[in-house]
Structure 1
Amino acid sequence: MKNMKKYNYVAPFHQREGERLKSLHATKLLDSDHSERFDVITVLAATVFKVPTALISLVDSDRQWFLSCHGLEGDETHRDRAFCSHAINEKELLVVEDTQSHPIFKNHPLVTGKPYIRFYAGAVIRGEDTLPLGTLSIIDQVPRKFYEQERQSFLSMAKLVRQEIVQPAEISTHRMRSKLRNKRDPLTNAFLGDTFFEKIRVAYSKSVNNCKYYVLCLEFSNIEYIENHYGYIVADEIILELSARLRRGISQIGKNVLGRTENTLLGGFIVINLDHNPVVKLISDVKNHLQKCLEGPVKTSVSEIEPNINLAIIQDDFGVSAPHQIYRMAKVFVKDLPQKQGINTAVVTENIRKDELKNIELTRELSENIEQNKLHLVYQPKIDAHNEGLVGLEALIRWNHLSHGFVSPPTIINIAYKSNLIFKLEKWIFKTVINQIKKWKDKGFEVPRVSINVTGDTLQHKDFVNFVTELLNQTNLSGEYLDIEIVESSLFDNIDAVIDIMNQLRKLGVSFSLDDFGTGFSNLAYLKVLPISYLKIDKSFIDNIIKDKHASAMCSGIISLSNRLDMQTVAEGVESEFQVIALRAMRCNFIQGYHYSKPLGVVELETKYYNVSLKD
């Protein structure tokens, strides 16, 4: 609405607009089946006052919808162009005897263009709570006088309309059923389910050249909290207002379809004709426009409440994907947005979409690839900082996909988390590592501890300790060949339970390393009680250890702290001799990084470290 205030024919909102809209929607009349009860009145009005057009209009948040329409095509018009939007702010009646001489309406597009309105009279129709719902109006293409007797007769007809609207409960129920038959949400008037996607297809088929198409998904991310604390009525008030803001926003930039796909989700489709809208061209323009329309608190019957909104927008030419597929992707991005205050948006570009389509394909295939051993492990050596001997290995996951090539370890872990496969994946890693250790042992190799990265979810899984115990028993191996690397942040939820699990595994000989120490939030109190044997210094500190005195001081401090706590330190990502010299001087115990070795496959590792002279 703010963007259109340059047109003085746009009516201001009613001073109790939120309550008025609530009263209007409570009638269940919007988008109901047309009824002869109302059509009789509009025909009567047109006949009595000798005008070509008579309407019963209901003024919604962004449109006027015709409950009955005589002499005019269509079911609705935009609220910003509706004469009735002005009329509902009057006490009883708005009369414009000659629009061309009226300061507000003389430049109105419905006056200067079709249907060339020259005379208008609108009588206010009020609900049971006396708030205005809409009008009974008559329109003519020639100016005319509207005398007092005519005005009184017209107001009497408006009372007839009101009597038909204020009906018993059984008729309201009939209207609700009618709306559901039309596949619309009774609260927001948005299309439901498959009807939403069918309307998108129809809108797309009717579009012209030089158009851009956008699909969006909006989530009321804190609506459950609001419903639990304020009640469902307040929650509905917020959903109603935000859906009105969204509808108003998308209507200002193009043709559109609005849908409600879940209780907390709205969907939208926008067709922007670039010939008619040269301002909004880029997806960032759409985002900024909608964000501005949605922002601000919502005034409810209880208080003003600031809703939290997540919004994802995708531009698409619909050349490949169907509307429901594009919307589903928008929904994925909405669900991935952080639960923060205010409006959080995700603009999904073509490259981001390609990445997400790739991730969707990888997600479908991950479980099968785990079962078929299509993933593999590489091992990066850990070297003694002083004698440069092999003292450990870290197992790192790799996936060379047939179509997508190398899949990064963070991507694999992220997909496993989202698809609830993380425990399955990390069990596979354990089995693969322990079986490899057994093979090396059977060959007579001296095998150092092998570190395995484990998420907090897996560590705390009810079957994890038994799984590790049984695996060691089956292979007749000691837990002394295993080290479990954990990240501090994954342990905070239930630290006592984590300590108990770690102690059970330590009894088997398994040691623990704390990975990425020094990054993020490091709680020294937890470090004191966790049964940790190794602290791993993050690569971000190692990279700057020579040039940055702060990074050098952090490394020195971590190593000193580790020594005092009877722990050993492992420096990750070491790439130069200068870094090695500095770490030795600080009394770091072990070095891991490309300076000594990249991660190696089994054959490479055996060739480099397990030659004949190292055999028993």
Structure 2
Amino acid sequence: MNTLNAEQQAQLSRRMNRERLARKSAERLLERKSLELFNINQSLQQTNNEIKKLSVAIEQSPNAVIITDTDAIIEYTNPSFSQLTGWQADEIRGKKTSILSSHLTPDSTYKNLWETITSGQVWHGEIYNNKKNGEQYLEHVTISPIFDENHEIRHYLSISEDITLKKEYEKQIHQLAHHDSLTGLLNRYSLYDRLKHEIDNAEHQNAQLAVMFLDLDRFKPINDTYGHKGGDQLLVEIGQLLTEVTAEHCTILARLGGDEFVAVIPFLEDPIIAAKLAQDILTALEEPIQIDKKHKAQTSASIGIAIYPNDGLSAAELLKNADTAMYHVKDLGRGDYEFFTEDMNKAVEERLILARELKLAVAENKLELYYQPKITQESNRLCGVEALLRWNHPELGFISPEKFIPIAEDNDLIIELGLWVIKSAFAQLISWQEKGLPSIKIAINISTKQLQTQGFVGSVERALHEFQVPPQLIEFEITESAAMDDPLKSIENLKALRNIGIDIAIDDFGTGYSSLAYLKSLPIQVLKIDKSFVMAMDKDENSAAIAKAIISLGHDLGYKIVAEGVETQQHIDALSSYHCDLLQGYFFSRPLPSIEMEKYMLSADICRH
């Protein structure tokens, strides 16, 4: 056996060491490469998982997704796109996105879109497109460029949301916020906003503009007769009528609420144009308006006109002054138009002062009742009195009821004032009885608001009980307009008063509706002929004929007839020939304070009840 020398042994040992080191190095390399392969595999799995997640996300996205090439050729669409547009993926793949165009989106939008995405930026915007069936829709779109590893654009990704309903809701919300929900006209908020804008324009152009404030006359009876549905339909028809009549001149037409409307004429060359338009509106309203298949309603309007800059420099001031002019028309009898004047402002200031003073007078018991006798025509006996409210102001002197009663009605003082009158008249009646004076009937005027107030009949019953007044000695006078203002409520309350034992009289008959057929449905016992007919009988044959006809027809219906405004013997002779029952006027006596009325009663021949 050969043995190795020391040198050979050393060489062998070195070779074995090298082989061992090489083997270990190979093992380490294999281990490292195995680890790298493992990591790569893990990364690929993770990437595949991410791709799968992204694919599922795109497939299940509620938004429509499109992927195109750089020429806008469609390469991919998700199911939401198909649900939205009706196009299936295999139908639209390979077609240009322009197949979706509705041609409603401006060219400038598309120009901006392409300039943005071809420069490598993301574009956001709204586009009108067509569905497969031709239906249009609005979508909010985000389009992003897709880059390759060299940062070259290879594809475009579009993600869109259908916002058609959202825009419709926004439009509806805007409509509700800026327009009247019933008529579709501008509302109060928009009126002020638009009017301020028109005032700015007028100021810069050194021009005039007109503000026309319109209020329907006697809208409440129509609303009560035909119900809220009929009243609402009338307002809708009025809105359409005003839209047509004012179209040529007005840029603003609004409904403030209730039965109030405002029209604005910008760049007014001459106030005559506003006057002519107001007259056109009044003429158009002369025709009855169809409110349902069976019924038509007749109405009119009162219109006040204020001119910028003469009548105001702000929207609020112009509207206030136009409103003032409108109420002036109401005071004059309705159904007309008036331009605002500074005198009207003075009248408004005077009304404000009187309203304040009247409130104090009621609170401090500074008012008093006067009494005017009623005389029987046949026997010339005192048969009753009418209680008339009087106000002797310490500084302003005697103030006419024609001035302060409307103020009380406008400021809701009439309820408190009316109850004060009722209680004061009851107290006076009892006072006269306690003094041994004969019992006579007292007539008390009742306002429209009193008659329509809930609890009015109850307050009368309580007052009768408080003062222990026999109801047969009380007569309530109401005007024709009060009875017609809310017929159902009027009849209900009048019947309740009649059931208590109080007589009901229609005051100023002949000046209002003068409907004997309607009056027959009311529980009334007395008709009072308006003094305007009585005072004109000896000069005007028509007035005499009207008075005679009222007396004859009233008697046929079983009513007693009172003629007020009797001032001459000729009046008495004529009314006697017509067989009028009771006479009232200055021929017999002016209205007297309570002390003087007592003296009159002591000297008068009094009929017995």
Query: What TM bracket, shorter-length normalisation?
Result: 0.5 to 0.7
Match of 2:587 among 595, 598, 601: 595
- C-alpha distance 585-528 of structure 1, shift in aligned 2 (>3 A): farther
* Mapped pair 1:605 → 2:597: yes
Q: TM-score, normalised by structure 2?
A: 0.53
Q: After TM superposition, list the pairs within 5 Å mapping 1:415-426 onto structure 2.
A: 415-426=407-418
How far did 1:228 drift?
Answer: 6.8
1:192 partner SS: helix
Change (3 A) 1:543 1:354: same
Q: Separation in 2 of the partners of 1:601 and 1:443?
A: 16
CA drift of 1:501 comes to 1.5
- Deviation at residue 498 of structure 1 after TM alignment: 4.9
CA distance in 1, matches of 2:496, 2:286: 47
2: CA distance, partners of 1:293 / 1:500: 39
AA of the residue aligned to 2:592: L
Amino acid at match of 1:467: S
In the alignment, what sits opposite 1:504? 499
User: 2:363 is matched with which residue?
Assistant: 371
What does the per-residue CA deviation read over 1:194-249, in whole Å, with 9 as the maximum and x for residues that have no partner?
534543664465464xx545322467999x99x979x99xx999979966974751
Change (3 A) 1:398 1:167: farther
Q: 1:327 aligns with which of 311, 319, 323?
A: 319
Question: Residue type matched to 2:516 in 1?
Answer: N
Deviation for aligned residue 1:327: 1.0
- The structural deviation recorded for 1:483 is 2.1
Aligned twin of 1:471: 463
Matches of 2:238 and 2:517, distance apart in 1: 44
How far apart are 1:371 and its partner, in Å? 3.2
Shift of 1:469: 2.9
Change in Cα spacing, 1:207 to 1:436, as seen in structure 2 (3 Å) is: farther
Partner of 1:67: none
CA distance in structure 2 between the partners assigned to 1:476 and 1:345 by the alignment? 48
TM-score when normalising by structure 1: 0.53
Choose the corresponding residue for 2:211, options 199, 203, 215.
Answer: 215
2:166 & 2:535 partners in 1: Cα distance? 74
Q: Pick the aligned partner of 1:521 from 506, 510, 514.
A: 514
RMSD of equivalent CA atoms: 5.8
Q: Secondary structure at the residue paired with 1:249? A: coil
Is this contact kept in 2: 1:200–1:323, CA < 8 A?
Answer: no
Query: Residues 137-189 of structure 1, C-alpha deviation per residue, up to 9 Å, x if partnerless?
Result: xxxxxxxxxxxxxxxxxxxxxxxxxxxxx994278469859979x98999878
Change (3 A) 1:269 1:407: farther
C-alpha spacing 1:480/1:168, structure 2 compared with 1 (3 Å): closer
- SS state at 1:391 partner: strand
Residue 337 of structure 2 corresponds to residue 349 of structure 1: no
Q: Secondary structure at the match of 2:338?
A: strand
Q: Which of 516, 528, 537 lines up with 1:536 in the alignment?
A: 528
Cα offsets for 1:495-540 (capped at 9, x unmatched): 763563243221xxx43334344554342685498352x4433324
> CA separation in 1, counterparts of 2:458 and 2:243?
51
Kindly tell me: are residues 513 and 322 of structure 1, through their superposed partners in 2, closer, same or farther at Cα, counting changes over 3 Å? same
Residue 605 of structure 1, CA deviation? 3.2
Answer yes or no: is the 8 Å Cα contact 1:480–1:511 preserved in 2: yes
Q: Can you list the C-alpha shifts for 1:240-295, whole angstroms capped at 9, x where unaligned?
A: 996697475147xxxxx77775698764555657xxx4x55575256468889999
Query: What displacement does 1:597 show?
Result: 1.7
- The share of aligned pairs that are identical, in percent, is 24
Unpaired segments ≥5 residues, structure 1: 1-36, 45-127, 131-165, 252-256, 297-305, 339-343
Instruction: Spell out, residue by residue over 1:299-324, the C-alpha distance to the aligned partner (whole angstroms, 9 max, x if none).
Output: xxxxxxx9999654223546778531
- d(CA) in 2 for partners of 1:563, 1:175: 66
1:268-347 to 2 correspondence within 5 Å?
Answer: 269-270=264-265, 272=267, 277=269, 283-285=274-276, 287=278, 312-315=304-307, 317=309, 322-331=314-323, 346-347=337-338
Once residues 357 and 448 of structure 1 are traced to their aligned partners in structure 2, the CA distance between those partners, rounded to angstroms, is: 42
Tell me the equivalent position of 1:450.
Answer: 442
Please state how far the C-alpha of 1:565 moved relative to its aligned partner: 6.8
* Residues 331 and 593 of structure 1, relative CA distance in 2, 3 Å threshold: same
Q: Say whether the 8 Å CA contact 2:285–2:299 is kept in structure 1.
A: no
- Contact kept in structure 1, 2:531 and 2:564, CA below 8 Å: yes
Rounded Cα–Cα distance in structure 2 between residues aligned with 1:281 and 1:521:
36
Partner of 2:193: 195
CA contact (8 A) 1:179 1:185 kept: no
**Does the CA-based 8 Å contact 2:370-2:387 persist in structure 1?**
yes
**Number of residue equivalences:** 433
Pair 1:249 & 2:249 matched: yes
Taking the aligned partners of 2:307 and 2:108, their CA distance within structure 1 comes to: 46
Structure 1 counterpart of 2:500, which letter? L
Equivalence for 2:90 = none
Quickly say closer, same or farther: Cα 1:170–1:359, change in 2 above 3 A: same
**Offset at 1:592?**
0.8
- Which of the two has higher C-alpha Rg? 2
Residues 594/293 of structure 1: CA separation in 2 closer, same or farther (3 Å cut) = closer
Q: 1:215 to 1:496 in 2, by over 3 A?
A: closer
The change in CA–CA distance for 1:496 and 1:293 in structure 2 (over 3 A counts) is closer
Structure 2: distance between partners of 1:294 and 1:604: 51
Deviation of 1:430 (Å): 0.2
Distance 1:562 1:195, change over 3 A: closer
- Aligned residue identity for 2:193: T
Question: Does structure 1 residue 428 correspond to structure 2 residue 420?
Answer: yes
> In structure 2, what is the Cα distance between the partners aligned to 1:322 and 1:384?
60
1:407 CA displacement: 5.4
1:460 is displaced (CA, Å) by 6.1
Could you say if the C-alpha distance between residues 281 and 436 of structure 1 is closer, same or farther in structure 2, counting changes exceeding 3 Å? same
Q: Residues 340-395 of structure 1, C-alpha deviation per residue, up to 9 Å, x if partnerless?
A: xxxx7633331555545555665666555433334433221223435544332111
Post-superposition Cα deviations, 1:452-495, rounded to whole Å, max 9, x if no partner, equal: 12246534655333322322332233334422223456446247
The amino acid of 2:442's aligned partner reads: V
- Which of the residues 571, 575, 592 maps onto 2:563? 571
